[in-house]
Structure 1
């Protein structure tokens, strides 16, 4: 996979970065934690511009997240959940993931879209509850772009700092991502239990 990412960036430049980041949202096993740090490494070599790399990554990521938004908008919660349970194994998505994202989204409103784009494991699927909740497309794009630009810039900067050791970025992010996901899951369980007790 690494060689394919390198070849795509080398041959297509900024367009390649945008394309890879779009695919990363559509096919989650393609990791942004590898794409953008590699792009950051190319900046250290003088082959690319940091700002243009971040812009390309943001555009691609938001474009890749948009189909998930439309999926949620036109199919609704129940149908999206059923489809995720039936076909989601190919995309590492389950109906339970859809429901969790919806609960998280409802608690935080539109800002959940921006915040969700910063959290590994949620960043791809936060588009589903945005669509399910009928969030206006223009606001979805704006909030998605805001969150994504921070995430992409962070990864690009990490690649720039790590240099030729850019692959270590994903290694350092993995335990942090796990802790964040456990925290979100625990907070969601606490919130559900608290609502049942007080209702």
Structure 2
């Protein structure tokens, strides 16, 4: 980051959008620390990382737009425990709350990247998407860069605190996913059992 300066920080954040395991909670405070050491200006760190956030989000938006609703439903139909109706419900929810989801999603790990895909699928107006993404990313990036700048050599303390927040979010998402899978498997099992019972009843009724 010292060698590439602001553009390097922006590139790292753009890649973080495309590959969520690269944590912005590490990149941004480190950019702030680099700025405090004279490697770049604080203003440049904020501008470049925000530009990187927008570029990365735009790439995922275009991916969603290329994928389209019909392909997304076709893919969902091939996935275990997922139905086309799930996609349709998600679509209806996004049409009602899409602007809030895109803005506030910038403050949630993993979801920060993924929210750009349904925005593209639903063809959210591009100027609105870019404005919401830029504003949310500006707030998030400025907070972490400023913290890293203020803490200096102790910039990693920001990562330690936010790392706990990220883990809590991931645990909540994981539990929700397991609950969804459990409910869907339970319903599928009951439907299968009901079909078997009806078949057995039909066989008994048809027996001489």
Q: Same fold (TM over 0.5)?
A: yes
Distance (Å, rounded) in 1 between the aligned partners of 2:149 and 2:141: 12
User: In the TM superposition, what is the alpha-carbon distance from 1:178 to its structure 2 partner?
Assistant: 3.6
Trace 1:78-117 onto structure 2 (pairs within 5 A): 79-80=71-72, 82=75, 105-117=94-106
Structure 1, gaps ≥5 residues long = 1-8, 87-94, 190-199
Counterpart pick for 1:36 among 3, 28, 40? 28
Structure 2, gaps ≥5 residues long = 180-208
Trace 1:54-93 onto structure 2 (pairs within 5 A): 54-77=46-69, 79-80=71-72, 82=75
User: In the TM superposition, what is the alpha-carbon distance from 1:79 to its structure 2 partner?
Assistant: 3.1
Asked if the contact 1:20/1:35 (under 8 Å) is kept, the reply is yes
Length-normalised TM-score, structure 2 = 0.70
2:112 corresponding residue in structure 1: 123
Partner-residue secondary structure (3-state), 1:62: helix
Q: Who wins on radius of gyration, i.e. which is larger?
A: 2
Asked if the contact 1:25/1:124 (under 8 Å) is kept, the reply is yes
The reply to whether residue 160 of structure 1 matches residue 149 of structure 2 is: yes
Partner-residue secondary structure (3-state), 1:68: helix
Deviation track 1:126-171 (CA, whole Å, cap 9, x = no partner) reads: 1011111110111111110010001111110121232212223222
* Aligned structure 1 segments of 4 or more residues deviating by more than 4 angstroms: 98-104
2:166 corresponding residue in structure 1: 177
Asked if the contact 1:23/1:30 (under 8 Å) is kept, the reply is yes
Distance (Å, rounded) in 2 between the aligned partners of 1:173 and 1:102: 31
Asked if the contact 1:101/1:126 (under 8 Å) is kept, the reply is no
Number of paired residues? 171
1:134 corresponding residue in structure 2: 123
CA 123–101 in structure 1, closer or farther in 2 if over 3 Å, else same: farther
Deviation track 1:150-196 (CA, whole Å, cap 9, x = no partner) reads: 1111110121232212223222112223434528x86xx8xxxxxxx
User: In the TM superposition, what is the alpha-carbon distance from 1:102 to its structure 2 partner?
Assistant: 5.7
User: In the TM superposition, what is the alpha-carbon distance from 1:105 to its structure 2 partner?
Assistant: 3.7
